[in-house]
């Protein structure tokens, strides 16, 4: 029994065709992405005309974003976020893969844990924020804890499922070839579960980022989350919109890179 159908909904696997693209196809893809971005920008502009008090237009926002990229304050905040994000990502990846491997290898524990994990995945973790603050206090540890809370569970679930769904023939083959346990792990198990783990890590990446940013919105005087909530509180719409744009840009670029990596592994 697999828990994939319960949880992989937020794991976007993408289209099927992974045949190497010809030059013309990749040109067309570039054009399509460009058109989509144009459409999104047009919608943005329309929304801006409808409510000029709450958002800045695309051109002005890009200008502000470029200004921000040249300012020292922004980099101080970005660095604070980056540090918290890096730490959380490291903890949720390593911890998630380790726990997932263990639960996957031990079938009974996996079966016991699966619905509990799904439940943990779906509870609104924002409401637990006061608890995290009371335990960790204000500052970077609370941010990291919040990031890990969001990010670790999808990594665990994907890793566990990958191990549970390994083709038994592979393991039998390893036994027939009399591979040692470490060789089995290194040559058979890890390559077999890698694509799924990368999917888990990609989902973990997104949610860890979300967790850290939300964490900064409540519990910090530093970081991009703080810049956002501060922009909302003092009604600094220009900086608010620009920070969100930069955040989206970062998320989409890293998402695409991880997606490309995943497809290469699945081939």
Partner 1 sequence: MNQVTLVRLCVIAGSVLAVEALCRFGVINRLTLLPPSEMAAYLVHLLVSGEINQAIVQTFSNVAIAFVLSVVFGFVLGAVIHAMPRLRRACDPFLASYYSVPIFVFYPLFVSLFGLNRWPLIMIGFLFAITAMVIATLNGLDRVPPVLVKFARVHRMSRSAEILRVVLPAAGPYLFTGVKLALAYSFIGVLAGEFILSGGGLGYAIAYAYDAFDNRTMYALMLFVLIVVTAINSALFIWEQRLLRRRGKV
**Which alpha helices (H) appear in 106-139, and where do they start and end?**
107-122, 129-136
Nearer to partner 1 by Cβ, of 189 and 197: the residue is: 197
Q: In this structure, are residues 103 and 160 in contact, taking their beta carbons and an 8 Å threshold? A: yes
Scan residues 129-158 and list those touching partner 1 (CB under 8 A): 129-131, 133-135
| Cβ count within 10 A of residue 163 | 22
Choose which of 45, 122, 167, 173 interacts with partner 1 (CB under 8 A).
Answer: 122
**What six digits make up the tokens of 230?**
């501060």
- Contact status: 203 vs partner 1 (CB under 8 A): yes
DSSP state of 125: G
Nearer to partner 1 by Cβ, of 90 and 185: the residue is: 90
- Contact status: 168 vs partner 1 (CB under 8 A): no
Taking CA 188 as the corner, what is the angle to CA 187 and CA 191, rounded to the nearest 5 degrees? 85
Residues binding partner 1: what is the number (CB under 8 A)?
A: 74
Scan residues 38-77 and list those touching partner 1 (CB under 8 A): 47, 50-51, 53-55
- Contact status: 186 vs partner 1 (CB under 8 A): no
DSSP state of 137: -
- Contact status: 123 vs partner 1 (CB under 8 A): yes
Residue among 17, 41, 12, 43 at smallest CA distance from 29: 17
Scan residues 205-264 and list those touching partner 1 (CB under 8 A): 205-207, 209-210, 213-214, 217-218, 225, 228-229, 232, 237, 240, 244, 247-248, 251-252, 254-256, 258-259
């Amino acid at each position: 029994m697999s828990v994939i159908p319960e949880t992989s909904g937020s794991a976007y696997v993408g289209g099927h065709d992974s045949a190497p693209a010809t030059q013309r196809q990749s040109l067309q893809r570039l054009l399509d992405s460009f058109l989509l971005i144009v459409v999104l920008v047009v919608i943005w502009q329309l929304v801006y005309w409808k409510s000029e008090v709450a958002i800045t237009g695309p051109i002005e926002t890009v200008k502000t974003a470029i200004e921000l990229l040249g300012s020292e304050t922004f980099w101080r905040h970005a660095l604070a976020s980056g540090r918290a994000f890096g730490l959380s990502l490291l903890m949720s990846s390593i911890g998630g893969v380790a726990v997932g491997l263990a639960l996957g290898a031990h079938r009974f524990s996996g079966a016991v844990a699966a619905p509990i994990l799904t439940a943990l995945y779906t509870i609104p973790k924002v409401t637990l924020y006061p608890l995290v603050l009371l335990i960790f206090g204000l500052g970077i540890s609370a941010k990291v804890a919040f990031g890990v809370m969001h990010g670790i569970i999808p990594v665990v679930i994907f890793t566990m499922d990958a191990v549970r769904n390994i083709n038994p023939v592979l393991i039998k083959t390893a036994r027939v070839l009399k591979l040692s346990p470490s060789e089995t792990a290194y040559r058979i198990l890890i390559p077999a579960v890698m694509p799924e783990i990368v999917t888990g890590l990609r989902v973990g990446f997104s949610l860890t980022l979300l967790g850290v940013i939300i964490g900064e919105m409540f519990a910090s005087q530093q970081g991009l989350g703080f810049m956002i909530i501060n922009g909302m509180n003092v009604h600094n719409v220009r900086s608010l919109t620009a920070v969100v744009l930069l955040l989206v840009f970062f998320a989409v670029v890293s998402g695409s890179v991880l997606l490309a990596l995943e497809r290469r592994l699945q081939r």
